[in-house]
Structure 1
Amino acid sequence: MTTTGDDHTAALTGPWWWERRLGAALDVGLAAVSAAECGAEGIAFAKDAGLPTAVGVGFGVLAGFSLLFRRRWPVAVVLIAIAITPAQMGFLLTIVGLYSLAASELPRRITGALAGMSMAGTLIVTMVRASRDLAEEGAHPPIGSEYVPFFAVAAAIGVTAPPVLLGLYVGARRRLMESLRERADDLERELQLLAERAEERAEWARGEERTRIAREMHDVVAHRVSLMVVHAAALQAVARKDPEKAVKNAALVGDMGRQALTELREMLGVLRTGDGGRRAQPVEPVEPVPLAAVGYAAAAAASRVVDEDGPCLAELDELVGQSRAAGMAVDLSVEGEPRGYAADVEQTAYRVVQEALTNVHKHAAGAKTYVRLAHRAAEIAMQVENEPPPEAGSTADARLPSGGNGLVGMKERVTGLGGVFVSGPTDGGGFRVSAVLPAAVPGVG
């Protein structure tokens, strides 16, 4: 994209101090006309001063050609015009010089001082010349002498004021255009910067939502499949010794598989639709919206659906019952009066307990586990602690793999809501997972 400033810079192709070739050609033409005028007026000047005609013409030509430098040194041009005013030369030089001076970036006090000097010089020379012409007519007193001051003042103002006022107007307009061009360049740069930031924010929003969905998928799949593997291992161990128990474990594996498939379908439905499982209907084309708005809207919509369809603390008994059915000795205790929390808080508390139980299945199969939930005034606390696993060989080895993402996901969930998460081994050889969540999430009504 080419900016306004780039267009202006590309147009500066003139030689030397000229910005454009057209300006250079104009100044050369004006200087030639001024040199011709001053050269012609130099004949009369040489005659009055008693100098050779060639000297007067040469002096006028040099003075007239000074107009060539009106853009670079306007003060020098005006001073030359003032200097040759007594010789009655340089009418075009004076007008163009004053215009160039007024249109330049020089301080206004310099422009006013030089314009005043030019006006005074023109006034004096005009008055002297008019009085001399009247005196040469031979009238006593000279006819019309009372009008000489008025004529001189009018001539001085007529020669000085119009070019100065026009130059001031053109200079002000030029500065205004430069200011508008700079503002347009600044605005375009700001818009580009905003577009880049919007793109970065949209990418960040998409990344956050991908992380959130990956965390949900991990929690759902890891817990259900871990229970399925535990039941399958138990099924393998008792298949020949206790067929009735084997049938019961097989039924539990089937139930776990169906529940895992149901939760996966719900999760994938969030990705395919934006309204709780209903497919989006085609709509009429609308005006395009910024990419950042799309990213934020998609992330917010997906988050709302996940939160609304996600688990809650009321399902904690069922979660613990599933682990008990898999052979884990789990003790659940609840302190305080249960009450309603924001969907994010309940879902996070549930997922922390779920992932902690999953880790016990993976790393400490058969260990006694304690799940504690405390409802407090301004927060909700949960803790899952297991004893050391029994001796090797006492239970079937499920050989569950671990990706190392469970604890990281739990910490991200808790800290994202402004809570505190702590995990680590206990002195007795077990493992403890503790989390505290605020009852009211900031920014959630």
Structure 2
Amino acid sequence: MTTTGEEHATVRKGPWWWVRWRSALLDGGLALASAVECGARGIPFARDAGVPEAAGVVFGVLAGSVLLVRRRWPIAVVLVSIAVAPAQMGYLMGVVGLYTLAASELPRRIIASLAGMSLLGMLVVTFVQAREMSDADVDAGEWFAPFVAVTMSVGMTAPPLLLGMYVGARRRLMESLRERADSLERELQLLAERAEERAEWARNEERTRIAREMHDVVAHRVSLMVVHAAALQAVARKDPEKAVKNAALVGDMGRQALTELREMLGVLRSGDGAARVRPAPVVAAAEVEEQQVAEGPCLEDLEELIGQSAAAGMVVALSVEGRECTYAREIEQTAYRVVQEALTNAHKHAAGAKTYVRVAHRVSEIAMQVENEPPPEVSSPGLPSGGNGLVGMRERVLALGGVFVSGPTEAGGFRVSAVIPAS
């Protein structure tokens, strides 16, 4: 089957090879007109050939009816029109056949060959007719027959051929644009799905970050409060003054924890407000992260952090190597959180053990190490652990391109080491 540029994906609603009933009715009307024309021209053809007129009419009707299959076999229609041209019939069939052939997706060399054959056949037939007319009219010159032949053959061949080529090119262009639009629609749908995946990933990352921040803020303060509460219970009757001091420390730490929680919740609320004004989850998450980093702790607060642990009864030794430098706020906050979480773990799992905190300022990085000695054989019951402290520290350090290592020491203690690039 030869295609003529019709929409292949269209659901067929017409009979046989027609896409629509309208196309079938059009081809039927053209075939009927061609059959009438060829049948009428069949009468003089039968007289000249010396056959019955009825045979000429039947021959003309059958030849003209071939136009009915122009969409399916345009080559056959053009060949039949060329074949019946000497009988001076099939003009409508030739014009419509050339148009359909030019509008089809056949190779250009086939279209050019058939068009040339049709032009040559029409030229010969019209030349013979013009010569007969010039012989009957003595006033006609020698130029009359060639002029009429060329004019008629070109006029009957070129317009339908050019119009068919234009319509075929336009159909192919529309089909290409339609396919491109479908492709763009699929790409947009894919981009929308990926955007939704990125948004979901950003929400998950934001939830993880919030959970990590809440853990860092609450775990250390509450752990120290529990340690001081246990000490307060132990010395309440024996040493009232120390009990009062421990109670004051518990109150101070509770107020600090509440203050940090309020600050964090305020940042989250402001981030939600930004999200409502500009509903881009990734941008809102970035703004919240930036605000949280800007308001977080820094390396200058390490001495206060270690002092709080020492006030809770832990023996902590701090050593700083190298020349202190100013780092990006996010780097200092991460370093602080690593030390804070390591001390919290020491409070939970090695109460009473001596702990060493080392911070090294190097040329292009900052390193910190928190190591505790083996805990005493008799110690207070361990504090509950959610098991996310080491995971959170590792995520923070790796997010900045650093290295994180943790594990037990040969002496029975525990060591946490981290190295963060300075830029």
**TM-score over 0.5 for the alignment?**
yes
Inter-CA distance 247–8: structure 2 relative to 1 (3 Å threshold): farther
> In 2 relative to 1, CA 105–160 (structure 1 residues): closer, same or farther, beyond 3 Å?
same
Change (3 A) 1:156 1:204: same
Corresponding residue number in structure 2 for 1:173: 170
Contact 1:230 1:398 (C-alpha < 8 Å) held by counterparts:
no
Per-residue CA shift, 1:270-299, capped at 9, x if unaligned?
111149xxx77998xxxxx7x6xx111111
How far apart are the structure 2 equivalents of 1:14 and 1:438? Answer: 73
Q: How far apart in 2 are the matches of 1:184 and 1:282?
A: 33
1:411 corresponds to 2:408: no
8 A contact 1:233–1:398 mirrored in 2: no
C-alpha deviation, 1:398, in angstroms: 4.7
CA contact (8 A) 1:352 1:410 kept: yes
Question: Residue 436 of structure 1: which of 397, 409, 419 is its match?
Answer: 419
Structure 1: gaps of 5 or more residues: 1-6, 284-288, 441-445
Counterpart residue number, 1:132: 132
With over 3 angstroms needed to count, the CA separation of the structure-2 counterparts of 1:31 and 1:405, relative to structure 1, is: same
Offset at residue 55 of structure 1 (A): 1.5
Q: 2:247 and 2:143 mapped to 1: Cα distance?
A: 130
Over aligned residues, Cα RMSD in angstroms? 1.9
* AA in 2 matched with 1:86: P
Is 2:37 the partner of 1:37? yes
Q: Which amino acid aligns with 1:174?
A: R
- Alignment pair present for 1:425 and 2:408: yes
User: What's the CA shift string for 1:195-224, capped at 9, x where partnerless?
Assistant: 111111111112111111110000111000
2:224 is aligned, of 206, 224, 227, to 227
Q: Take 2:8 and 2:283, find their aligned partners in 1: how far apart are those partners?
A: 41
Residue identity over aligned pairs, in percent, reads 72
Please report how far the alpha carbon of residue 424 of structure 1 lies from its aligned counterpart in structure 2 after TM superposition: 0.3
Structure 2 letter corresponding to 1:151: V
Residue in 2 that maps onto 1:322: 308
Shift of 1:113: 1.2
| Correspondent of 2:160 among 155, 159, 163 | 163
| 2:311 paired with 1:306 | no
- For this pair of structures, how many residues does the alignment match? 417
- Who is 1:386 aligned against? 372
Are the aligned partners of 2:134 and 2:145 in contact in 1 as well (CA < 8 Å)? no
Paired letter, 1:424: G
Amino acid at match of 2:18: W
Mapping of 1:164-243 within 5 angstroms? 164-243=161-240
Distance 2:343 2:275 in 1: 41
Instruction: Give the AA of the match of 1:271.
Output: L
- Residue 119 of structure 1 corresponds to 119
Matched letter for residue 126 of structure 1:
T
Counterpart in the other structure of 2:73: 73
SS at match of 1:421: strand
Give the equivalent residue in structure 1 for 2:348. 362
CA distance in structure 2 between the aligned counterparts of 1:93 and 1:72, rounded to whole angstroms: 15
Report if aligned partners of 1:386, 1:431 keep a CA contact under 8 Å in 2.
yes
C-alpha distance in structure 1 between counterparts of 2:121 and 2:151, whole Å:
13
Q: CA deviation at 1:143?
A: 4.1
**Shift in alpha-carbon separation, 1:172–1:280, aligned structure 2, 3 A:** closer
User: Contact 2:275–2:281 (CA<8 Å) still a contact in 1?
Assistant: no
Once residues 315 and 134 of structure 1 are traced to their aligned partners in structure 2, the CA distance between those partners, rounded to angstroms, is 116
In 2, the alpha carbon distance for the partners of 1:439 and 1:37 equals: 93
Query: Structure 1 residue 263 and structure 2 residue 260: aligned?
Result: yes
**Cα deviation, residue 191, structure 1:** 1.2
Letter in 2 for 1:102: A
Contact in 1 for aligned 2:349/2:382 (Cα 8 Å): no
CA distance in structure 2 between the partners assigned to 1:282 and 1:431 by the alignment: 46
Looking at structure 2, the residues matched to 26 and 282 of structure 1 have their Cα atoms a distance apart, in angstroms, of 59
Distance in 2 separating the partners of 1:262 and 1:212: 19
Counterparts of 1:282 and 1:51, CA distance in 2: 92
**Which residue among 310, 322, 328 is the counterpart of 1:336?**
322
**Inter-partner Cα distance in structure 2 for 1:383 and 1:398:** 26
- CA distance in 2 between counterparts of 1:280 and 1:188 reads 31
Alignment match of 1:402 (pick from 377, 381, 385): 385
SS of the residue aligned with 1:192?
helix
| 3-state DSSP of counterpart to 2:143 | helix
Q: TM-score, normalised by structure 1?
A: 0.90
Residue 130 of structure 2 contacts residue 144 of structure 2 at CA under 8 Å; is this kept in 1? no
Q: Would the alpha carbon gap of residues 113 and 240 (structure 1) be closer, same or farther in structure 2, given more than 3 Å must change?
A: same
Q: Structure 2 matches for 1:242-281, cutoff 5 A?
A: 242-274=239-271
Q: Is the 8 Å Cα contact of residues 323 and 330 (structure 1) preserved in structure 2?
A: yes
What is the match of residue 296 of structure 1?
282
CA contact (8 A) 1:388 1:430 kept: yes
422-431 or 142-151, which deviates more? 142-151
Q: Distance in 2 between matches of 1:198 and 1:138?
A: 83
Q: Which residue of 1 aligns with 2:108?
A: 108
Give the Cα–Cα distance (whole angstroms) in 1 for the partners of residues 403 and 140 of structure 2. Answer: 108
Contact 2:318/2:358 (<8 A) preserved: yes
SS at 2:358 equivalent: strand
- What amino acid is aligned across from residue 317 of structure 1 in structure 2? E
Structure 1 residue 125 displacement after superposition: 1.0
2-structure distance, mates of 1:206, 1:22: 55
Distance 2:221 2:386 in 1: 15
Shift of 1:8: 8.4
- Whole-angstrom distance in 1 between the partners of 2:140 and 2:294: 107
1:374 is matched with 360
In structure 2, distance between residues paired with 1:178 and 1:282: 43
Tell me the TM-score normalized by structure 2: 0.95
1:329–1:143: structure 2 CA closer, same or farther, 3 Å change rule? Answer: closer
Q: Residues of 2 paired with 1:420 and 1:282: CA distance? A: 37
